Every structure is written in C-alpha cells, then in structure tokens.
Amino acid sequence: MNARERIEQHFFNSAQLKLSAMSSLAPPIERAVQHLLDSLQHRHKILSCGNGGSAADAQHFASELINRFERERPGLPAIALTTDTSAITSIANDYHYDIVFARQVEALGSKGDLLLAISTSGHSTNVVRAIEAAHTQEMKIIALTGGDGGKIAPLLTAQDVEIRVPAHNTARIQEVHLLVLHCLCDLLDHSLWPEK
C-alpha cells in the first residue's frame, strides 16, 4: 500500500466508524447533554481529565465551554485537571501519579458538579481514581471510553453516562471522542441559548 492509499484508508476507516457508531452513541450523548445542562443551570462546574491525547481533549472541551464554541455566548464554568503542572507534579512527587486527578477532584469538586472522564481504553488508573473521588463528592460522571469500557465501565452508576466507542484502535476512538465533544458543545449552545 502506497502513501496515498494509506491516507485514503485512514479517512475511510474514520468515516466508517463514525457512521456505524452514530445510532448507538446518539442516546448516551443526549443523556450526557442533559447532565451537563442540569449542572450548568444550577451554577455548578464541569471538571475534565484524561491522559495524552485524551488530556488534550479534556482541555479542548474546557476551553470550548469557558470561551465559546460556534456562537457568541457567556462563558461556562469548566476546569481541565490536566493543565496545572505545579499541582500535577507535586501530587505525583509527594504521593503517586495515580491520584493526580483524584486529588484535584477532592479539592475542586462539589456536589452537583460533573466530571468528564476520558480514557480510550477505560483502564487509565488516574482517571479511574478521579471517578471514585467524584462519586465520593456526589458528582455525576460522563465517561468517554472505547473497546469494552475497561475498568471504568463497572464503576459507573445509573446516574452516570458512558459514551463507549465500539472500536479498539486508539486513533479511531480519539477521533470519535472529538466528534462527541463537539456534539456536546453544539447541543449545550442550542439548549442554553436557543435561536430566536
């Protein structure tokens, strides 16, 4: 397979997964939006976390809420737990990297807040620990996972939402996660500030 064919194959595989996952992911995306709306309308905040590309997605989502997505509107309260290098490195150094997000959830999270937890495999220990900490704080969870949901899936309660991409390739899962985040942003905008 030459370079052009490989490029086209990536485009095809990405598009094919998005289309095949659309009907199964739409219902949990709708539920997730309702959870986000409930938190935001009651003046609570959204915390987000993940590792690597999922850290970038957590930051991307928080920035879309704080600044704006596609329409002019007031900022929404969101914190990406992946951005404070002093907090992350001090927690990792003094305790363990496994609790870099959980410790921040304990400090910054409150009942009524929501945690967006992103892990393509569902096995990220620090994300798992963040979910456990969020439950202790009586926060709801929106989990973006892939594959079989990993260790995250059995932790979630009936109050939580899992948006699980039916794939095992990390790059393809991340591409769908980004689309899911853009769906959430769009639906928030149109629910909170409907067109006149």
Reading the chain (196 residues) residue by residue, the pLDDT tens digits are 899 999 999 999 999 999 999 999 999 999 999 999 999 999 999 999 999 999 999 999 999 999 999 999 999 999 999 999 999 999 999 999 999 999 999 999 999 999 999 999 999 999 999 999 999 999 999 999 999 999 999 999 999 999 999 999 999 999 999 999 999 999 999 999 988 6
Annotated binding site for substrate: 51-53, 64, 93-94, 119-121, 124, 174
Annotated binding site: 51-53, 60, 64, 93-94, 119-121, 124, 174, 182
Nearest to 87 by CA among 45, 144, 49: 49
Annotated binding site for Zn(2+): 60, 64, 174, 182
Question: Residue 195 has what pLDDT?
Answer: 81
One-letter amino acid for residue 157 of the chain: T
Phi/psi for 148 (5° steps) reads -100, 10
Pick the CATH number of 3-192 from 3.40.50.10490, 3.90.79.10, 2.40.240.20, 3.40.640.10: 3.40.50.10490
Question: Residue 55 has what pLDDT?
Answer: 98
Question: Residue 196 has what pLDDT?
Answer: 66
Q: Provide the whole-model pTM.
A: 0.96
What gap in Å lies between CA 114 and CA 188, rounded to an integer?
Answer: 14
Residue 84: how many other CB atoms lie within 10 Å: 15
CB 116 within 8 A of CB 58: yes
What gap in Å lies between CA 119 and CA 54, rounded to an integer?
Answer: 6
